[in-house]
């Protein structure tokens, strides 16, 4: 008896099993439930984080579309080029306000992939969202299309 008390096993499993208070079964049960919950919740959680990123990208591109539309009203053309690091066109005029420029950098996967004029009729802007797959969005004068849809 004396020897059993003195000889201590310090492995983690022994610590959990070792004495009463709460038993192995209870702890195992709790851990299993937690694991199941995590296994169910993790993909759902990730799905919603991606969805949130995609929604934000859509919303930002929607605003970009409107901003380019107002640029078109002011200058009677779309900008030839946009430098997305400071949001200025080839003649060094601002295309977007500086706040909006920061928002674009924050909300889209930077740098913005490409911007080019489309036969002088409109433009094609390609940008990626900040989700896991970095989904590619294509913005034209009239619509926003998402890669794979």
- Closest to another protein by CB, 6 vs 76, is 6
List binders of another protein among 23-62 (CB under 8 A).
Answer: 27, 30-31, 34, 37-38, 41, 45, 48-49, 51-53, 55-56, 58-59, 62
Other residues' Cβ atoms within 10 Å of the Cβ of residue 104: 21
Contact 58, 131 (CB under 8 A): no
| Minimum CB distance to another protein, residue 32 (Å) | 12
Q: Is 83 exposed, middle or buried (0-12, 13-18, 19+ CB in 10 A)?
A: middle
**Residues whose CB falls within 8 Å of the CB of residue 64, separated by 6 or more in sequence, listed in order:** 96, 104, 125, 139
Which residue in the set 3, 4, 21, 143 belongs to the binding site for another protein (CB under 8 A)?
21
Triad 109, 137, 84: Cα angle to 5°: 50
Residue 67 interacts with another protein (CB under 8 A)? no
**Residues whose CB falls within 8 Å of the CB of residue 121, separated by 6 or more in sequence, listed in order:** 141
**Residue entry with tokens 């605003």:** 63
| Minimum CB distance to another protein, residue 91 (Å) | 32
Residue 117 interacts with another protein (CB under 8 A)? no
| Minimum CB distance to another protein, residue 16 (Å) | 6
Residue 141 interacts with another protein (CB under 8 A)? no
| Two tokens, residue 25 | 């079964």
| Minimum CB distance to another protein, residue 112 (Å) | 19
Q: Which residues bind another protein (CB under 8 A)?
A: 5, 8, 10, 12, 14-16, 18-19, 21-22, 27, 30-31, 34, 37-38, 41, 45, 48-49, 51-53, 55-56, 58-59, 62
């Amino acid at each position: 008896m004396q020897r059993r008390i003195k000889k201590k096993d310090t492995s983690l499993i022994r610590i959990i099993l070792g004495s009463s208070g709460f038993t192995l079964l209870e702890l195992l049960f709790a851990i299993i439930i937690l694991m199941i919950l995590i296994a169910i919740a993790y993909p759902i959680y990730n799905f919603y984080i991606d969805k949130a990123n995609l929604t934000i990208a859509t919303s930002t591109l929607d605003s970009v579309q409107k901003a380019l539309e107002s640029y078109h009203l002011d200058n009677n053309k779309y900008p030839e080029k946009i430098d997305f690091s400071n949001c200025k066109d080839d003649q060094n005029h601002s295309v977007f306000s500086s706040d909006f420029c920061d928002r674009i950098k924050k909300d889209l996967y930077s740098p913005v992939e490409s911007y080019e004029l489309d036969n002088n009729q409109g433009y094609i802007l390609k940008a990626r969202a900040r989700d896991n797959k970095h989904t590619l969005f294509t913005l034209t004068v009239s619509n926003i299309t998402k890669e794979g849809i």
